[in-house]
Chain A
């Protein structure tokens, strides 16, 4: 179609537009064609036929990239856009497994059991996500779960370090080391998740959204710090 020529097109049909002028160097062009459906079968064909190793490696690379994002939290949207829950599942299960074997004279007094840790992490993440959505956040449900789950990673590392330190002994020095490590990782987790989640919250309610995240990671840190082996 030809470019609209303002001054020439005035007339009885468009009286109001008579004095609109459009510069002549904006080309209007394109094509009106219906895309032939010959591309899609090719793509399906290619992922269906690729070696299984490629499929798995692609997902593993995505998970690994997210771990790196958590370690160096910059404001990138990769974590948010392509959410997945593999990472949080792996972290949660490994954390719950490492918290096993806590001391117990009677069953009632010991540390959290596997199911308790699992439920606390997932139920806590769901409650925080619901809270931020109810307060008017624009992030989607699973994206928020993804971020909260991935940001448990520093605390899982802290748990690993604590178990190693406890192998060496359980005195005051080891407690101080564990306290420092867990404290630092707790701060890291909270800051990382806040960095990812803060932008999607309405501005006067940021503190209301951040506080439950702080409480969540505090509870997990407390469980890690009070772990005493048998």
Chain B
């Protein structure tokens, strides 16, 4: 029969004191779940990431699994899983943007700024801003170019917004997917020291598109030379961010494949810039003096038939 003492709530000393009293007692510690299933059913979960080889030697070491697992341990159908991709503060986003606009030669954007905390806020909203900036600037620039003409009626060209959105979001998500797949495939053939997760690649691409926002605004200026100088400049800046990120990931590979990969990345980037310029911004008229056309009166002789 239980005594009154047994039914009372009893305080337990904390673990250190108990263990000091009885050092041989068995202990169990419960940590955060560290296992990720090896078979990835969602391409968003991180594959075994590799750090530089001075830290860890081989593929798939337990430590990388651990580090990756502790970060994103919620199953992908819960809201909390997606919340881990938005775990950034204002100053972090601003730092990443600054890093993409002022690339430091030799410093890797991912290593320096992202550092295993890739976010989806930056890529998503930078792309959204870019879509609307290109559509609005294109519209404004066309308006100013055609302003004086008598036959011109202003049209808002709203369809172009959806075209811009499709293009830019497809670029910012499908190209990283293809690049990630390609890097994973090469990883299985050649041991690479550096490899990136899909989200980190999306992050780099998203932030590297930021420089196009002020470029698109400046494209309103209707001078061909100015526009092309801007294209080259922004391509250099964002291209260098991409090159400095991806060169370490392919440099151990076959020389030709490495160069071809980086060249393709740059080519697609250039294609995006030039394509947007050509489609959304009409060619500025050359500054010629008023054309000398024989002046028609515009009156015609109407013959009445009766």
Interface of A toward B, CB cutoff 8 Å: 102-105, 108-112, 116, 131, 133-136, 204-208, 211-212, 215, 218-219, 222-223, 226-228
Contacts and interface: CB of A to CB of B under 8 A. Distances in A.
A134 B86 contact: yes
Nearest to A204: B89
Interface in B136-186: 136, 139, 153-159
A110 B155 contact: yes
Contact of B155 (A105, A135, A136): A105
Interface in B71-128: 79, 82-83, 85-86, 88-91, 93, 121, 125, 128
The dominant DSSP class at the B interface is helix
B132 interface: yes
The dominant DSSP class at the A interface is helix
Nearest to B155: A109
Nearest to B83: A134
A93 to B, nearest CB: 19
Contacts of A108: 159
A109 B282 CA distance: 14
Interface residues of B, number: 24
B98 to A, nearest CB: 15
B154 A228 contact: yes
Given A134-B82, A226-B156, A206 B132 contact: no
Contacts of B132: 215, 218-219, 222
Interface in B50-90: 79, 82-83, 85-86, 88-90
Given A215-B129, A222-B136, A111 B90 contact: no
A205 B91 CA distance: 9
A109 B90 contact: no
B118 to A, nearest CB: 14
Contacts of B89: 204-205, 208
A39 B254 CA distance: 82
A210 to B, nearest CB: 10
